[in-house]
Structure 1
């Protein structure tokens, strides 16, 4: 457990959930964003109350790593807290009743894949798994309560923190999404297949016939990729040869520049997947690019991911009736999260419910940045 030194004079603390940069692959992650939850087989996968659709897994946090001062001592200090969200709600602000659920489990289980709809491949998207560190930050003392008719004037906020202080290393202020990667191509055969499949999926639209007309050729290309070994390095000449095959056909909706644009948009996602997958996969990223990537990954903007204490000030301050802050999940390019236009997801629970671990009674809403 790390501690960020502050000038706050308060017994209360907040916990910042810090993505590991660099990732310590030699350690077993105790908490993580994305990937798959580890929960006992008898625990049902949460579903949206309104639609019955399986929710997306967002985070699993080890409660043993949470400090005693968090939530004034309320809540569990054993087991794990799991956060599930209906990702269809990313773009809209306001309350999200029934579309966010929190589970507490006493022990780990096997990795669980999300359930699919019967007779369909549709289901929650599994995002990249990113190990987390728990970083404790003191918070300012609670100010006097505001007038009852103006709860938004309370003014209780965390102390500001930048990526340099959180990581103790350099940070690049340019947003990750704006980065023009110097070398736009997959580094392994696994990445090549993923990039190609994603590009075809992105460009598929009514009237596009290239994919169907060249189905046999595409299947042969995929089969050849699988024969190479998924994490085998891909040379420049091998990529040039493969790209030439893919861009040899032109249809009404398929042009080389559109294909290249789709590849560029997907190349960052492919690189991030390689960065978090394993030490071997990360080693396929050229050192010069890795040196540019990691300072960008340490850029947390103005709003970190956190648990406990006051929420960060987005469209106003925290209010006295909010309750205990279970989760604040910020927009994060590295995770592919965009909450309500560069905002954040906030999940609160009444202190009395947190004391008895009644996590079925939570309140969640999104606020734009």
Structure 2
């Protein structure tokens, strides 16, 4: 099956005055946001902490290439064994971080590459009371330069998500009974310095009269949110609103861009924009046979999971989709679609009306265009040459789907404040939030119920460069 290897992006364009203000170090709030910010300014100053944003530039081929990346295949030297669970099951590769790419000195190693692996199966039952190597491993390899050959996974590695629960990156493009791939989509990472703040009110911040101090370097195991303290729920909500705005500003300052807003009907509007942008020529949809293959697979998947009222159309669509799959199989998937084939495929989409929609392009067809472009961009993100072949207009239209933060305002980062109170704390070795991986549409990653995957390491262990005891947990 077509490997899901991922894209990157062109220089982001600031679209409004608010974004310009963010880049100049100021924020533009409405009056209620301003009041909320002022009320918690003491806490934001007091508990600000440096974090490292794992930024996916968009579009991918415009990213500054580093030796850090999400997914794909690791540049793991031949002499380093691929990590396995105690029962011998190979772990899945998640990402690699070259310490030379880090934006500031910290408790992380100054050189070498960190490789993160985890058991990414259907259950994700990472019990914190069991040995950590049953769920994850972090390897610090001192010599793994960019020229290191890519390492293929072991032949016995299971598909990501297991045989019965493939993950979101490719779930909608799989045939009935077909396994997903054993490696995640690839996307280059540019590590950037970013401010972070606690996700909760801390005990000594329960009232605005708490004293101000420079506690940005307070230990991660310091003051805790205490649920039994009956803190004012309304105050908690106001803090959450103020924090959301503060985090958006921090993301904008770190990346030089304001994340676009994702509309409720983003899929249909974006699909129609892409379809009607160009009727003919090299920038017209579909540009490449890979997009046609994804679209045909999406139709077959949709027919398998959802009933439709028009029995005649439903009866003939599988054969038509299969015919397009066969035509796609006769071409290299990254080659351009000729004008005649493009016209045929566009006519097929225009006739696709499963729910009686009389729009120029039905809602079902528009969503198909959107999802097939989503899959194509994901597939080629890790290959700069292929990613550059996609029309700039398509990248622009799909920006909201790929520009983080896009699911619950979450981003992936290292260090900084954890998304939740540490569960793995020990008085003799307080837990450090080594890595937080967010559920996000761009990579097709979903941790639990759109949660975070958090890697924890002890403070003393991190200071000694010891990653053997790193634990992973799903955190809401």
TM-score for both structures, normalised by structure 2:
0.58
Structure 1 counterpart of 2:419: 312
CA deviation vs aligned residue, 1:43-98 (integer Å, no higher than 9, x gap): 12222335x33222111101123355423xxx421111011122225766864842
Q: Is the 8 A contact 1:14 1:308 kept in 2?
A: yes
- Quickly say closer, same or farther: Cα 1:355–1:272, change in 2 above 3 A: same
Q: Which residue of 2 aligns with 1:77?
A: 110
Name the SS for the 2:327 alignment partner. Answer: helix
Match of 1:110 in 2: 149
Q: Say which of 133, 137, 144 aligns to 2:194.
A: 137
SS in 2 for 1:87: coil
Out of 118, 127, 136, the residue aligned to residue 100 of structure 1 is: 136
- Higher mean C-alpha deviation, range 100-109 or range 179-188: 179-188
Preserved contact between residue 167 and residue 298 of structure 1 (Cα < 8 Å): no
The structure-2 alpha-carbon separation of the partners of 1:337 and 1:219, relative to structure 1 and needing over 3 Å to count, comes to closer
Contact 1:48 1:54 in 2 (8 A): yes
Within 2, Cα distance between the matches of 1:110 and 1:273? 20
Aligned partner of residue 88 in structure 1, secondary structure: coil
More helix by share: 2
| 1:174 matched to 2:266 | no
CA distance in 2, matches of 1:273, 1:142: 42
Give unmatched runs, 5+ long, in structure 1.
Answer: 249-256
Aligned to 1:36, the other structure's residue is in SS state coil
Q: How many residues were matched structurally?
A: 342
Structure 1 pair 136/167, CA: closer, same or farther in 2 (3 Å)?
A: closer
Q: How does 1:165-314 map to 2 (within 5 A)?
A: 165-174=253-262, 179-180=267-268, 181-182=271-272, 183=274, 186-196=286-296, 221-226=327-332, 230-235=333-338, 237-241=340-344, 265-285=371-391, 287=393, 289-300=394-405, 301-313=408-420
Q: Distance in 2 between matches of 1:32 and 1:264?
A: 25
- 1:331 is aligned to 439
Query: Aligned partners of 1:152, 1:138: CA distance in 2, in Å?
Result: 29
Between 91-100 and 29-38, report the one with greater CA deviation. 91-100
- Bigger fraction of residues in strand: 1
CA distance in 2 between partners of 1:363 and 1:138 (Å): 24
Q: CA 1:234 to 1:62, structure 2 compared with 1: closer, same or farther past 3 Å?
A: same
Q: Which residue of 2 aligns with 1:17?
A: 54
Which blocks of at least 5 consecutive residues in structure 2 are unaligned? Answer: 1-22, 27-43, 160-177, 197-215, 230-235, 276-284, 306-314, 352-361
**1:86 maps to which of 100, 119, 135:** 119
The TM-score with structure 1 as length reference comes to 0.72
CA distance in 2, matches of 1:86, 1:324: 21
- Is this contact kept in 2: 1:54–1:123, CA < 8 A? no
Is the radius of gyration larger for structure 1 or structure 2? 2
* Contact residue 61 and residue 388 of structure 2 kept, 8 A: no
2:472 aligned with 1:364, yes or no?
yes
Relative distance call for 1:79 and 1:118 in structure 2 (3 A) is: closer
Separation of aligned partners in 2, 1:118 and 1:341: 24
CA distance in 2, matches of 1:362, 1:18: 23
1:29/1:202 Cα in 2 relative to 1: closer, same or farther (>3 Å)? farther
RMSD: 4.6
Residues 136 and 90 of structure 1, relative CA distance in 2, 3 Å threshold = farther
**Structure 1 SS opposite 2:445:** coil
Change in Cα spacing, 1:119 to 1:351, as seen in structure 2 (3 Å) is closer
Q: How does 1:136-155 map to 2 (within 5 A)?
A: 136-139=193-196, 140-142=216-218, 145-146=222-223
Change (3 A) 1:119 1:30: closer
Paired residue secondary structure (1:15): strand
Q: Deviations over 1:244-263 (max 9, x none)?
A: 899x9xxxxxxxx9x96777
After TM superposition, give the deviation of residue 102 of structure 1 in Å. Answer: 1.0
Superposed CA deviations along residues 262-308 of structure 1, whole A, max 9, x for unmatched, are 77644422233345532554433351x32222354323143221111
Cα distance per residue 1:309-366 (max 9 Å; x no partner): 22124xx578854512211001111000111212101101112222333222112110
Relative to structure 1, the CA distance from residue 171 to residue 11 in structure 2 (aligned partners, 3 Å threshold; closer, same or farther) is closer
Is the Cα–Cα contact under 8 Å of residues 171 and 298 in structure 1 kept in the other structure? yes
Distance 1:90 1:136, change over 3 A: farther
Contact 2:252 2:259 in 1 (8 A): yes
Q: 1:145 to 1:119 in 2, by over 3 A?
A: closer
